[in-house]
């Protein structure tokens, strides 16, 4: 079964066509990397397939459901391209990870959120940093907190947009080990 199917996708940003005639199919259990030069549309493709930005034409399906109000986005974990895990808010690593449990209609994490966040932080090698403010963590550690935030919902599809860009080598290695455990 396809977890992601993209057919004849076209994305326009303003008056410019950024992507056109894009076809991608990803099956369950498959690992896919999209490579290209800076400005080639990789992040645009990721953001369109996760519903963050609109697309002009074509079709995107997640788990066989067209992207739209009924798309099962709760089955998708998304890690954005190099943003701060802090986002201007004073929060611990655990609190940032627990925010991944919030949905469109949920404003507080449910029961067991703390334990699930601890498990996700363990997966990315940051269990010891759970109660530290994310502003005190290195850039690589913050990126792993964002990965843990995506993993806390136990997604069936994990979408990573340049997850190690600007991250030091030890953090890249820790990230690779984290993915191997999944």
**pLDDT tens readout for residues 41-95:** 999 999 999 999 999 999 999 999 999 989 999 899 998 876 666 666 789 999 9
Q: What angle do CA 89, 69, 10 make, to 5 degrees?
A: 90
Kindly state which CATH superfamily the domain 1-71 is placed in: P-loop containing nucleotide triphosphate hydrolases (3.40.50.300)
Query: Rounded distance, CA 96 to CA 93, Å?
Result: 5
End-to-end alpha-carbon separation of the chain, Å? 20
**Residues facing 22 on adjacent strands:** 9
Query: Rounded distance, CA 47 to CA 6, Å?
Result: 13
Boundaries of every domain in the chain? 1-71, 76-182
**The predicted structure's pLDDT at residue 8:** 98
Q: For residue 80, count other CB atoms closer than 10 A to its CB.
A: 18
Q: Which CATH code is given to the segment(s) 76-182?
A: 3.40.50.300
Topology alike, domains 1-71 and 76-182: yes
- Would you call 133 helix, strand, or coil by DSSP? strand
pTM: 0.84
């Amino acid at each position: 079964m396809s977890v992601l199917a993209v057919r004849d996708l076209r994305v326009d940003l303003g008056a410019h066509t950024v992507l056109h005639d894009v076809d991608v199919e990803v099956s369950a259990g498959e690992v896919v990397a999209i490579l290209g030069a800076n400005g080639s549309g990789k992040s645009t493709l990721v953001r369109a397939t996760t519903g963050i930005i609109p697309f002009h034409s074509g079709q995107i399906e997640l788990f066989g459901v067209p992207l739209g109000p009924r798309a099962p986005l709760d089955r998708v974990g998304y890690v954005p391209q190099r943003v701060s895990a802090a986002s201007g808010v004073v929060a611990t690593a655990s609190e940032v990870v627990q925010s991944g449990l919030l949905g469109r209609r949920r404003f507080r994490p449910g029961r067991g959120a703390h334990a699930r966040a601890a498990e996700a932080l363990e997966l990315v090698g940051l269990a010891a940093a759970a109660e530290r403010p994310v502003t005190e963590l290195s850039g690589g550690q913050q990126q792993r907190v964002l990965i843990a935030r995506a993993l806390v919902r136990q997604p069936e599809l994990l979408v990573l947009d340049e997850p190690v860009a600007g991250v030091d080598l030890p953090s890249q290695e820790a990230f690779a080990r984290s993915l191997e455990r999944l």
